[in-house]
Structure 1
Amino acid sequence: MFEIQPMNADTYRQQTRRSTVIIALIFLALAMLLSSVAVALFGTPGGDNLRFNVGGVFVAVLAMAALMRKVFWRQEWMKPAVYSWQLKRSLMSITNVMHHVTAAVERGDPVAMKLLRFYHLGLNQMHQLDGNSSDHAQLIREMDQHKERMQAQGIETEQIRLDPAWLEAVKQASR
């Protein structure tokens, strides 16, 4: 179950820039090292060693993927990037069934209304974190209208947790 966490946008951007630079520098060093090792072990002096250089870079990509999943993902300096990745995945899981969600909201389905509220809150936070102000006024209008509709039905509006069961319930209800 994913939960929206309060986060300062400026701090978030600073920390994600830092983690991006760290990852890029590690990848560059690893790619150069592995390419050099591949050329030294298998290449020919003065010959065409492009395939060994490319092979070294390819192995560096694989190594970075493993490092990201096994080591970096759990590091404190990666938390903002991991959080945004999880938030975006959560939003995408709702976007993939949005036609079901909107239809269920029109029918007054409380589960769909909670799901749409979470989507609005998550999307609003993602816009704030990324510094994306385009269409923000439209989103706020939709959020306010939906919030009023939820309040009229007595549904809690602070939907900061995404329950995966909601997605299934909305899909099942539209079949």
Structure 2
Amino acid sequence: MFEIQPMNAETFRRQTRRSTVIIALIFLALAMALSTAAVTLFGEPGGDNLRFNVGGVFVAVLLMVALMRGTFWHQPWMAPAVYGWRLKRSLMSVTNVMHQVTAAVEAGDADAMKLLRFYHLGLSQMHELDGNSSDHGQLIREMEQHKARMQALGIDTEQTHLNPAWLDAVKQTPR
């Protein structure tokens, strides 16, 4: 279950930039070292060693995937980037069934209303964290209208958790 957490946008962007630079430098070092090693071990002096260079980069990509999943993902310096990735994944899971969500909201389904409220809150935070204010005005209007409707029905508007059961229920509704 994903939960939206309060986060300072400037700090988030600074920390994600730092983690991106760290990952890029590690990849660059690995790719160069592995390509050099492949050419040294298997290449021909003065010959065409492109395939060994490409092979070294390919092995570096595979090694980076393993490092990301096994080691880096759980490091404190990666926490903001991991949070951003999880937020976007959660929002995408709602976006993928948005036509069903909106239909269920129109039909008065409380779980769909909670799901849409989570989506609005998450999308608002994503825009804030990414520094993207282009669609924020339209989103604010939609959020306020939906919030007012939820309040009128007595549904809690603080939906900071993505409950997978809400997604499952919405997916089961007829199209």
TM-score normalized by structure 1? 0.99
Alignment match, 1:91: 91
Could you tell me which amino acid in structure 1 is paired with residue 166 of structure 2?
A: W
Could you tell me which amino acid in structure 1 is paired with residue 143 of structure 2?
A: M
Matches within 5 A, 1:12-91: 12-91=12-91
**1:161 aligned to 2:154?**
no
Q: Distance in 2 between matches of 1:57 and 1:173?
A: 47
Alignment match, 1:144: 144
Q: Distance in 1 between matches of 2:20 and 2:164?
A: 30
Q: Where does structure 1 differ by over 3 angstroms across 4 or more consecutive aligned residues?
A: none
CA RMSD of aligned residues (A): 0.6
Structure 2 gaps, min length 5: none
* Equivalent position SS for 1:61: helix
Residue 172 of structure 1 deviates from its aligned partner by 1.2
* Equivalent position SS for 2:92: helix
**Matched residues, number:** 175
Q: Distance in 1 between matches of 2:63 and 2:138?
A: 43
Structure 1 gaps, min length 5: none
Overall identity of the aligned pairs, in %: 80
Q: Distance in 2 between matches of 1:50 and 1:171?
A: 49
TM-score normalized by structure 2? 0.99
Q: Distance in 1 between matches of 2:166 and 2:109?
A: 11
Residue 174 of structure 1 deviates from its aligned partner by 2.6
